Structure 1
């Protein structure tokens, strides 16, 4: 790779300074530290995007009231802005946690043994899918406990805007050294999380670019894009329905159901694939047998032979992203908005389409 001994970085260092292997020290990428570095910079958008939305949507009056009480800018951020953004930050952190726990390819490439590698070894090396299923169940239990502990730590606290004032916070424009330093710090995650790896892969693919265009790659790219777009729309609609029903009822059973639905993001992809294909294949067999015995013709693979099973597997895997994003946004909208709309005669569906979706 890019940071290997035979990679371009270390090769350039040896060629420039005339070093040998024993003359210099270079961080070991294939280690726990390297895995933490890679995963942190690759997955930081989960926290950044949700956190940025929370901070941007905060009204200015909170800062104004805190400053009239003599609070410093840092105290305002620590005691006012940060608690208001907590649901979004926790949602992004939970996504990072589940993504890290379920990742196999990156940690395997970086030679780090994790819980997921144990699941794969139990399944393929030891030939025990039952044991792998038990390990995956333990992984789900761990993530469920983490989410419950976080929810318990908040207690009955809720964070939302209770005023109708919608003035946004005033932007602080940094100049000179401060502006340059802030720009560099903000660009570092983008540099190491996207620009460097994507640029390196692009350089490696340039010699074979004509072969790529001449192959079926464009068609495969379109299939992936269309499937991702369709799945994202369905996932967003499902998340809106689930979170809005939770907002209307607020029962513990519904809250537990939301947490359980979110746990699929922490499962390895192969475990989800097997968990989806087995019941789908059984359903195909039942439907086909019924059609043969009743109508005299075969229905074929209705569920496993098309996009239905694949979309369902993607929903199980990525439903947590839609749920956490929608829930953090709805939690920031206080109940007074619903109460005011309800007093004006707005029904459940009208409140959803007029207030919550916009």
Structure 2
């Protein structure tokens, strides 16, 4: 063997040297592999997995990430209530019902507010300028309007929930006329919403009609409790991306036409600079003294047994005159 061959065999990376180095590698301690038992039986069980290169990968930590957070991002705590037509030109339109006492739902374009009765159908027309992608959905959500209440979740009152037998009885908003409706609750914010697939307008029509129901009165204790709410209707992709948004205020009451008329008149008076509440405030009627009361009593004996009816404007003035009358009755006795 010449000098070149001897030098080649003495190289540190030769096959023979690598085999010797590999056999000299000691397996990792069982203390790092097991937390409950380190007997020889466990070592014999794990030993076949250490053959070859298996032990280089058998102790790698599990770095897989949960898929739920990746697929469904957390919803915002405070939903956005600004209108956003989007590229599809998403719009809503309501039927003209007027302010008659017999109407079950009516919409005020002046206040952007829907007035409706409990559990009565409210047709809402959905219009788009450009057809949304395949599988788009419509979502309806209710939120409180005022800042001090917006973080709370809008739910039905306990009384109406107990009377209902539906599985989604806690939801305030319901949708009629579709078997593909889904009632959902966000796992992070606990806000409730109802969704259904978007359907393009039928032949000869320019809009799709959505039938909404509101299942609790605005005055219900334990529910809305006279706190104003907003209904948010969004057009979304199947993945939850918002394509368009429309918002309007909702009042669920016994007489929608009357309430709409009163509130529109108040808004009109406020814009013109007149305050309807100031007209009711006037100087209080002076209370007559005891001597004056006696004069009234003996003014005419013929009118003592006759009953008179007095019309009074305002409860404050009525209560005042009621006390005066009670004092005069005591003087008679």
Name the TM-score, length of structure 2 as normaliser: 0.24
Greater percentage in strand? 2
The structure richer in helix per residue is 1
Q: TM-score, normalised by structure 1?
A: 0.23
Compare CA radii of gyration and give the structure with the larger one.
2
